[in-house]
Amino acid sequence: VQLQASGGGLVQSGGSLRLSCAASDITLDYYAIGWFRQAPGKEREPVSCMSSSGSSTYYSDSVKGRFTISRDNAEKMMYLQMNSLKPEDTAVYYCAADRQPYSGTYPLRTMNYWGKGTLVTVSS
C-alpha cells in the first residue's frame, strides 16, 4: 500500500491550497482516512478525518470552517481543501488510511498507512 500526498507549497496568509493524496494497492472504500500535520518542534496532530463512506467527518477546532476533507473512492484519492490559511497552518501535512469503523466523533491517531508528507508554508 502506498499513499502519496501532493499539493503543498508556499502561500500567503488568507490564501488557499488543495492537498491531494493518491492511494495505490488498496481498496479505499474500506478505509477511514485522515489528514495530519506536524509543525516544526511540535508533535504530529490530526487535522481532519473521514469515515470510509464519507458520511462522518472530524475537524480539529483550529481548522473547522476553513478546511474540507473529501474522498473519491473510485479514483482512490483523498483531498484536503484549505482556505483562509494562516501562518500557524505551516506544517508538513500527511495523509493516512486505516481499516476501521469510524464515527467522526473523535480524532483518529493510530493509522496503518501513511503518506510521506507535503510541506505547506503560509507567509504572513
What is the tens place of the pLDDT at every residue in 31-59? Answer: 999 999 999 999 999 999 999 999 999 99
| pLDDT tens digit at each of 124 positions of the chain | 999 999 999 999 999 999 999 999 999 999 999 999 999 999 999 999 999 999 999 999 999 999 999 999 999 999 999 999 999 999 999 999 999 999 999 999 999 999 999 999 999 9
Specify the pLDDT at position 7: 98
Q: Could you please report the per-residue DSSP string of 29-85?
A: GG-EEEEEEE-TTS--EEEEEE-TTS--EEE-TTTTTTEEEEEETTTTEEEEEE-S-
Give the residue among 83, 109, 82 at the shortest CA–CA distance from 96: 109
Length of the chain (residues)? 124
**What is the rounded distance in angstroms from the CA atom of residue 95 to the CA atom of residue 74?**
17
Determine whether 56 is exposed, middle or buried from the number of CB atoms within 10 Å of its CB (0-12, 13-18, 19+).
middle
Specify the pLDDT at position 39: 97
